[in-house]
Amino acid sequence: MINITKTCLSDSVNSDKHEVINVTKTYLPDRTKLDKYIDKIYSTAWVTNNGQLLKELTARLEEYLGVQNLLLVANGTLALQIAYKALGVNGQAITTPFSFVATTSSLVWEGIEPIFVDIDPETFCIDPSKIEEAITPETTAIVPVHVFGNACEVEKIENIAQKYGLKTIYDGAHAFGVQYNGESLLSYGDATILSFHATKLFHTIEGGAIIFKNKEDYERAKLMINFGIDGPDSVIELGINAKMNEFQAAMGLCVLDEIDTILEQRAEIWSHYENALKDIVQLQKRNFQCTNNYSYFPVLFENEERLIEVKNTMNSAGINPRRYFYPSLDTLEYLHPQVSQTESRNIASRIMCLPLYPELRTEDADLIVMILKNDSK
């Protein structure tokens, strides 16, 4: 570490010029616009249960994303759980150990045993060449993740699923708006889920969606998210409550109006980082067949020690990058047996996501780059 840099940074913190810079900052839309939607909700007092704004958001998202059978739900984790239920997933499901904990915990919560298949250490997505050897008579599904919006090798995965009669449910929580070979990446698999949590690229405060390949699965899931209720006096399916409400939909409609600007601003910072850092730290190898939605900027260090050094320097300058994803999910205490996933543990120990959001100022990005350059020497 170079001390003079650290001293300068603490000085700038002390001078109160900096607000804390977190890995992300929730995008809040124009208040006047949001108020107009809230007025609409007040005028009808229809606050949830398939309301007008929810219908409007559904239609606009289907158009924007270029998908069909999109079902809005209360959050991304419920989206996963509903997708498994609607598609009849049970027994074992093959998944990746390198993801946010919800990918695995949602399986365990539904009584499905997660079977990990290690990742490709360059793309950070599940390694398709290792999937077949993990399939057993109990396997009913594959649950891959488009990590940091980078497309999985969908063709290879689909071929395996077809060969063994497995369902595929993609965790596309990071893949909002990503195109693959000119069409939506989100239309792959029997289902793809999205998270609209406040920290995500597009958000509804809390929220999520499931995009189904088949209309029948969509219809079943639609019943499931509302207790299986079919009409005033009719319950025809086992269900739960996973509905999105009108206030969430109002937020979504406002953010969606701004999405192109959000993407442009993210792209600018993303490229700024890439240009400055590509020769200094290892970056994610992107699938060349998919577009970038600039949702994360992960950097990979030589080792964990280096990562911790850089993180500490940043923290003392009021900058809070996050160790995404850490720890590797094959180390979760509630999983038995834990089968060690070498690549995932290795990557998880030395990866960190840099702050990236529309309002991040260039000088702050430069400061982050400077710390990385000094500390990586």
Ligand X SMILES: *Cc1c(COP(=O)(O)O)cnc(C)c1O
Q: Give residues in contact with ligand X (CB under 6 A).
A: 75-77, 99-100, 102-103, 145, 171, 173-174, 195, 197, 208
Q: How far is the CB of 174 from ligand X (least distance, A)?
A: 6
CB 375 within 8 A of CB 313: yes
Q: How far is the CB of 325 from ligand X (least distance, A)?
A: 8
Q: How far is the CB of 203 from ligand X (least distance, A)?
A: 9
Residue 64 sits at φ, ψ, to 5 deg, of -65, -45
Q: How far is the CB of 102 from ligand X (least distance, A)?
A: 4
- Residue nearer to ligand X on the CB measure, 99 or 265: 99
| CA atoms of 127 and 300, how far apart (whole Å) | 18
- Residue nearer to ligand X on the CB measure, 290 or 367: 290
Three-point CA angle 69, 170, 225, nearest 5°: 50
Those residues with Cβ within 8 angstroms of residue 35's Cβ, 6 or more apart along the chain or in another chain: none
Q: Which two tokens stand for residue 196?
A: 């609209």
Among the listed residues 259, 254, 201, 249, the one whose alpha carbon sits nearest the alpha carbon of residue 32:
254
Closest residue to ligand X in the complex (CB): 76
Q: How far is the CB of 329 from ligand X (least distance, A)?
A: 11
- Residue nearer to ligand X on the CB measure, 61 or 173: 173
Q: How far is the CB of 295 from ligand X (least distance, A)?
A: 9
- Residue nearer to ligand X on the CB measure, 170 or 375: 170
- Residue nearer to ligand X on the CB measure, 58 or 96: 96
Helix%, strand%, coil% for the chain, nearest 5: 45, 15, 40
- Residue nearer to ligand X on the CB measure, 354 or 367: 354
Question: Tokens 């699923």 — which residue?
Answer: 161
What is the sign, positive or negative, of the torsion defined by CA atoms of 51, 55, 58, 61? negative
Q: What is the DSSP letter of 184?
A: E
Among the listed residues 305, 304, 306, the one whose alpha carbon sits nearest the alpha carbon of residue 280:
306
Q: How far is the CB of 99 from ligand X (least distance, A)?
A: 5
- Residue nearer to ligand X on the CB measure, 148 or 212: 148
- Residue nearer to ligand X on the CB measure, 292 or 313: 292
Q: Which two tokens stand for residue 71?
A: 């079902």
Torsion, Cα 276 279 280 285, to 10 degrees, reads 100
Q: How far is the CB of 201 from ligand X (least distance, A)?
A: 11
| CA atoms of 175 and 184, how far apart (whole Å) | 10
Q: How many other C-beta atoms are found inside a 10 Å radius of the C-beta of residue 326?
A: 17
